[in-house]
Amino acid sequence: MPLVTPLTADHDLETKELATFFNETLGFCPNSVLTMQRRPAISKAFINLNKAVMANEGRVTSALKRMIAWVSSNATGCRYCQAHAIRAAERYGAEQEQLDNIWEYRTHPAFNDAERAALDFSLAASQVPNAVDSDIQKRLHDHWDEGEIVEMLGVISLFGYLNRWNDSMGTTLENDAIDSGNQYLGKHGFEVGKHV
């Protein structure tokens, strides 16, 4: 049972309008946003930040941003965000082989060196204490410009917020996200856990 019950999508009309963004990314408005709208300033600020972070300004694709989000969420253990991130990666065109082998991104041939550098950055930046070191910095700069690195860290930081929000709230996972989690992450032990 969630810590705080989500409100209906019609509770705050400004949030509802902004939340149409999630119909594209996930196919539904997340329960996390429906909970945030108990304080509409938070839901609106979050949606606008999400839109800004997920905009594509360089070569960091929408699919890669969602895989970065998955690695970050996996590092922190948030099942809710793992399922959302893998679902969004699928909806934004991640290759089937990448979706099926996201756990093996470091060695699987479906991932190139630039993607591995980005995903390793996500893993290191999501740990406490932070594990970004000179090797990761070098590998990032070998493949990405500084604006693209800012985009990546924007995703990692956004999901740091979401991981803490959803795990603390015990946000109920939506059925479509559960289906994506089971499909791509199930062979590695994905379960809904507290997000029922």
Residue 123: strand, helix, or coil: helix
In a domain, 107, yes or no: yes
Beta strands in 3-123, from DSSP E residues, in sequence order: none
**Domain CATH for 177:** 1.20.1290.10
Residue 195 lies in a domain: no
Question: Which pLDDT tens digits describe the chain residue by residue (196 residues)?
Answer: 899 999 999 999 999 999 999 999 999 999 999 999 999 999 999 999 999 999 999 899 999 999 999 999 999 999 999 999 999 999 999 999 999 999 999 999 999 999 999 999 999 999 999 999 999 999 999 999 999 999 999 999 999 999 999 999 999 999 999 999 999 999 999 999 999 9
Domain total of the chain: 1
CA atoms of 114 and 131, how far apart (whole Å): 19
Give domain status of residue 5, yes or no: no
Domain, as residue range, for 68: 13-188
Give the whole-angstrom CA distance, residue 79 versus residue 91: 18
Residue 177 domain-assigned?
yes
Q: pLDDT tens digits for 42-76?
A: 999 999 999 999 999 989 999 999 999 999 999 99
For residue 73, being part of any structural domain is answered with yes
What is the structure's pLDDT at 58?
87
Among 19, 49, 37, 20, CA closest to 169: 37
2 domain residue, yes or no = no
